[in-house]
Every structure is written in structure tokens, then in C-alpha cells.
Amino acid sequence: MELPILPTSVIGSYPKPRWLLRMYNLYSLGRLPEEDFREAVKDASVAVLREHERTGIDIPWDGEMGRSEMTEYFTSKIGGFRFYGPVRVWGNAYFNKAAAVSKLEYREPLVLDEFRWVKENTTREIVKVPITGPYTIAEWSFNEYYSSKEELAFELAKILNREFRLLEEEGAKFIQIDEPAMLNHPDEVPIAVEAINRAVKGVNVKFGLHVCFSNYHLLADHFDELRVSQFALEFANRKFRDMDFLRKLTHQELGFGVIDVHNPRVESPEEVARAIRKVMNYVEPERLYINPDCGLKLLDRRIAYQKLVNMVRGVEIVRKELAREGKKSIPFRRSV
Amino acid sequence: MIVPALIGSLPRPVSLAKKIEQYSIGRLSKEKLEEAYREHTRRAFVKLRNAGIKVITDGLYRWDDIFNPLIRFIDGIEVDGLFKFYENNFFYRAPVVRGELSLRENPIPEWINVALEIKEEVYPEATLKAVLPGPVTLAYHSINEAYESLNELAEAYANVLGELMKELPVKLVELQEPALAAELSRATREKKEDVSPEVAREIIEGLAKIRELWVVTYFGTPRVLPEGVIMNFDLIEGSVPENYSGRIGLGIVNARETKMERRDRLIDRLRPFLRKYGEVYVTPNTLLDFLPESVAWRKLRLLGKLGG
Ligand SMILES: [Zn+2]
């Protein structure tokens, strides 16, 4: 399978339509039947998928319309977790941090239904399925049951591995493991690496790994050990500074983050093109995918859309330049 | 004797966070927000009284993190993006030091006054501490674009803090100084420079001449032990250095895990310290922000039961 050179994709989340947020609210208050809520989620999912496709993104997703939050969604589906209430992350932002209180159990598929629905509705050949990784779920949970975080993370790796096998059977080609917390404890990075490798073991799907807002020097030392073929990282946020660690990325691909997800200013196509030309000094274009820094969910929906449009336009500028060197497409690589 | 005490913050109640958000988008008046702060502080003090916590803080309800809003009241500082606060899923806004530091007029002494008034009403027997970030921790977590060295920056912060402390209507001031034990985590960013132990010690002992100090450390074992202060040690992720002989607070309850400690085990753990120091304060090991509110209070009630 071939893709245009510099394939474009998203990281995962996208602003939920306002009407869907209202549905979430009504549903949480018990004033909307579950069936109606599920239907609303599916409709929003198609709407966002179309929006991604309209921007020209090569590898879209549905913007995680069915997920309330990136760990809570998983911890509420996996048996053995309980919730004591929200915990503050900064300012007035909170999240429902779960506590592992008994042996974790895989009770039901986690994202299989989402994938089926997107696959049924997309016009693209490949979609990217984002899933929160084992170490991040462990790190963003309290642990009252397991003897160590390592044990908890490995248990989660086992559960995710089951889900990945199901996804492979259903025809998923590209799974992105989201590990924003994997560099939280510099001493525990090897545990995160091992947990990720256990989660992907024996699954013949392309795996990407997304890590954001962290010290990437801690990740670069483990590039070679990680059994993934792509790292989707954030660069616009750090103004494309300190990219030297990319010298350690010798064979895997880079998902290059060119869109700042915390700033409403829309990047121009020329700005995006400039950033791509800069990163090509470190990674050759055949190993580059282009994406935003992170999920877009905190932005206004119109701004998120315009940012994706300009991202694709910026990519097209560089594609024209590469075409002159005869570089037009790359193979879709499951592993490298 | 065992004296239960609070250090730093309480988890900010979601109901208060909602009011602050409403205020920030212009849907709540300043007066109503102030009322909400006072009402939540009152509720917290009643709960601290019922839990048997003898030395208290205002819970830092008006603070987003240990640096903010103080750094907004210092000339020479711009407030920058979010950085990970040590190895937590908790983020602080970093001070970027662009020029010489000097303290501006600020409402912090008045906030302490308000808390004191409420305390006198609902829990007069308690001792209220004011809480400020320490100069060493401020220096390590700053992006320094103005001072020659981190030592000089830490000294400049100490001057600013000293000025502020003189205005505070309390005898006892808590300095949040995790950096004495854990300088700057690589989870935050790469460390480029150090505050020397001599300077750290000297500036803290200098501040101790202005007000009685309670120096709170966590996430490790402090390498700097200033004299003439109450030192708080984190017993979960650090220990008390053998040679320490001053007044002591022990962070004995884990504020980063929901699992409840057993009272009898905590008492066993405290015995050798009681023999050596006579009087010990017992506290959570770090800020209570990292726990859900309900669990934080359960842990405080447990601490209260250690008292006496
Ligand atoms: Zn991210």
C-alpha cells in the first residue's frame, strides 16, 4: 500500500460539537435514554470524520466523540477500578483519577465499536486508532491493589494486548498508543518501555507512539528498544527548538507535530512548510508523517478545522518541492 | 507529644473552582467570588477542627499552584506556560525572570487576615500558618534570563519574600521548599545550574530572623538543614538525616495514594522519633492537591487521630 509522501494525520481528539456536549450533560443527569445518547455519539463521529476528510487529512479518526476523557474512558470500562472523585491537574481543570482496588479484568472491548463505526463510514483506506497506553493509565491511577506500579502497568499491557488482537482481526491497520505520562518519572521509563512492548507483542499492525509535553531526551535513549514504527511528537509548542535528540531516531518514522493545540492562532501554510523543511535536516522525508502536536479538543471547533486545513496546505507546498526530486509517495510500513 | 498539622494546600473543592471559572468569564462579581472563598475557608476550618488538626493553613484556595499568584506580584517576572510539577500529573505556571525582582503591592497579607478572622470565629484554638514558596524552590523552577547565577536569583527571591513576610499578620510562616530535597525533576526540564547548599542555608536562616519558619520538604531527603526552624521531612519518599536535631515535622501519611494507612502502624513508625525528639508534628507527606477531596479529608482525620 502506498501513501503520498508526508502523509497527514491527527493525534486523536477534536472539539466536540456543542450539541453533543449538551447530550453528554443530559445523559449524565439521567435525562436522556442511553440509546439516544449512543446515536448522538455516532452522528457526531461521522460529522467529525467527514470534517477531517474535508481538510484533506490522509489518515483520519473521529475525534474521540465517544470518549469523555482519555484515561477515564478506559478505567471505567476495565473491571477493578473505582472512582473517589476528581483531582485537579492545573488551574481549575480536573480529571477523574481512578483507583485500582482489585485485580483488573478485561470485561468488554474498549474501542472496537468505535473502530467498526469509523471503518464503516470513512472514505479513506487507513484510519488511526488512538488508545491510551498501559503506563499512562497506571501512572494516572491510584494503586491500592498491586504491589508496584510495574505490576499494574504490565497487567494493563495484557489487557490492551487483547484489545489490539481484536482490532487486528477486525482489520485495523494503524494503532497509536498514547503515553503522555511515560516520561513522568525518569527512573521508570524502562518500565513504560517494557509495558508498551508487552502490549504490542504478537500483533501485526502498525503501531505509533504519541508522547507530549515532556522532556524528549528521556525518550530518545529508548527509540531503538521500542517495538513501534513511529513516534508522534509535539514540536510547535516548543517552537521547533531543541530538535537534536532526533539524531537518535535512526530507522523509525517521526509523526511531526506542527500545530500548537493550546493557542487559537491559526498557523499559516508557509509556517507549516518552513517547519517541515527544518525537520528534514534531521529525518529524511520518507520517514516523516505530519500531524498536530496533540489532540485538538481544547480549541474552538472552527479554529481546529482551519488549523488542519492549513496544515494540509503547508504539506502540499513541501510535496511540490519533493516531487521535483521525484519523491511522491512512500509505502505504508507496518514495521521498520 | 504528637501534634497533627496541615502543610500547604487542601484540594480545591470543585464547587469553588466553578465560582472561580465563572468569575474569570465575567459571570460572577468580585464580591460574590470573595464570598465563595470565605465560605469555603470557613467550611475547611470547621472540618480541620473536627479532624483534630492543630496547626493549619488557609488551604491555599486562592492559589493555583505554590507559585501562583505570588509571582504575578513581583516586578521582573513574566508568567509562562505550564510545566510538570515534579513527577505529578499536576502543572504549574513557570516564572520567567526578565529583570530585577521587586515586590509589588499585593493582597496576600489581607488574605491571611481574612483567614485569621474566620479562624478566630470557628477554630480559635488552632495555629494558622501563612504559606509561601521558598526561595530555593522558586529559583529552580524559574526560567532565569536576568541573573548571573541561580544563587543570585535565589537571594533575590529571598529578599522579596522577606519583604512580604514582614507584612504578614502571623507569627509562623511555612516555606514550601521541596527543592531542598528534590532540586528540579528531569520530568520538568533539564537542570542547568544549582543553588549551592551554603547559599540555600544562609538565605533560609536569614528569613527565619523575620518570622518563625516551618520549612516543608518532600519528594526526597533534604541535603540542606537550616538551623532554628521547624523542618518537615517526607517519610514516604525520603527520610530524616541522622544528624538532624532541630524541631521536626514528619510527612507520614501518603498524599499521592488513596490507600489508607493503618493507625497502629503509623504509631509504631512514630515511636523512635518521639523518643529522640520529644515533640513531633505529623503531616501529609506533600500537598493534598494530588488526592480526591474525599480521600484527602479521610487522611486528615486519620492524622488527627494520631494526636496527643
Ligand atoms: Zn498529547
Answer whether B106's CB lies under 8 Å from B77's CB. Answer: no
Q: Rounded to the nearest 5°, which phi and psi values hold at B287? A: -60, 145
- The pLDDT of residue B187 is 86
Q: Rounded to the nearest 5°, which phi and psi values hold at A315? A: -60, -40
| Cβ distance of B291 and A87 shorter than 8 Å | yes
Q: Which residue has the cell 529578599?
A: B159
Supply the pTM of this predicted model. 0.90
Set of chain A residues whose Cβ sits within 8 Å of the Cβ of B186: 186, 215, 218
Radius of gyration of chain A (CA): 19
Set of chain B residues whose Cβ sits within 8 Å of the Cβ of A181: 89
- Pseudo-torsion of CA B13, A74, A223, A189, nearest 10°? 50
- Residue A156 carries which side chain, given as an amino acid letter? L
DSSP track, A37-77: HHHHHHHHHHHHHHHHHHHT-SB---TTTT-SSTTHHHHTT
Order across the sheet with B74-84: list the strands: B74-84, B91-103, B143-144
The beta-carbon neighbor of A97 closest among B93, B259, B292 is: B292
N-to-C CA span, chain A? 15
- The pLDDT of residue A314 is 98
Q: How many CB atoms lie within 10 A of CB B272?
A: 10
Give percent of chain A above pLDDT 90. Answer: 95
Q: How far is the alpha carbon of B93 from chain A, nearest alpha carbon, in Å?
A: 9
| Cβ distance of B14 and A90 shorter than 8 Å | no
Q: How far is the alpha carbon of B114 from chain A, nearest alpha carbon, in Å?
A: 22
Q: How far is the alpha carbon of B124 from chain A, nearest alpha carbon, in Å?
A: 30
Q: Rounded to the nearest 5°, which phi and psi values hold at B9? A: -100, 160
Set of chain B residues whose Cβ sits within 8 Å of the Cβ of A92: 12, 17-18, 20-21
Set of chain A residues whose Cβ sits within 8 Å of the Cβ of B84: 184, 213-214
Cα–Cα distance list, A88 to A2, A184, B9, B59, B292 (Å): 45, 17, 12, 14, 8
Closest chain A CA to residue B92: A90
From CA B289, how far away is CA B12, in angstroms rounded? 7
C-alpha cell at B59: 488551604
Residue A290's DSSP bridge partners are A8, A256
Q: Rounded to the nearest 5°, which phi and psi values hold at A279? A: -70, -25
Handedness of CA A254, A328, A9, A163 (dihedral sign): negative
Q: How far is the alpha carbon of A133 from chain B, nearest alpha carbon, in Å?
A: 15
Q: Rounded to the nearest 5°, which phi and psi values hold at A114? A: -60, -45
CA angle B177, B225, B149 (to 5 degrees): 60
| Domains of chain A by start residue, with CATH | 2-331 (3.20.20.210)
- The pLDDT of residue B32 is 98
| Cβ distance of A86 and B290 shorter than 8 Å | no
| Domains of chain B by start residue, with CATH | 2-304 (3.20.20.210)
| Cβ distance of B14 and A86 shorter than 8 Å | yes
DSSP track, B202-239: HHHHHHTTTSEEEEE--SS--S---SSSEEEEETTT--
| Cβ distance of B90 and A90 shorter than 8 Å | yes
Mark which residues 78-107 of B lie under 8 Å from A by CB: 81-82, 84, 87-93
* B183 close contact with A: CB closer than 8 A: no
The beta-carbon neighbor of A87 closest among B87, B189, B290 is: B290
- Taking only the tens place, the pLDDT of each residue in B144-198 is 999 999 999 999 999 999 999 999 999 999 999 999 999 998 888 888 899 999 9
* B293 close contact with A: CB closer than 8 A: yes
Per-residue exposure over A92-120, b if at least 16 CB sit within 10 Å of its own CB, e if not: bebbbbbbbbeebebeebbbbebbebbbe
Q: What is the pLDDT along chain B (308 residues), one digit of tens a residue?
A: 999 999 999 999 999 999 999 999 999 999 999 999 999 999 999 999 999 999 999 999 999 999 999 999 999 999 977 888 999 999 999 999 999 999 999 999 999 999 999 999 999 999 999 999 999 999 999 999 999 999 999 999 999 999 999 999 999 999 999 999 999 988 888 888 999 999 999 999 999 999 999 999 999 999 999 999 999 999 999 999 999 999 999 999 999 999 999 999 999 999 999 999 999 999 999 999 999 999 999 999 999 999 98
The interface pTM score, or ipTM, of the predicted complex is 0.93
| Cβ distance of A84 and B65 shorter than 8 Å | no
Q: Which residue has the cell 509495558?
A: A195
C-alpha cell at B51: 479532624
- Taking only the tens place, the pLDDT of each residue in B278-289 is 999 999 999 999
Q: Is the peptide bond before B284 cis (omega within 30 degrees of 0)?
A: no
| Cβ distance of B259 and A92 shorter than 8 Å | no
DSSP state of A16: P
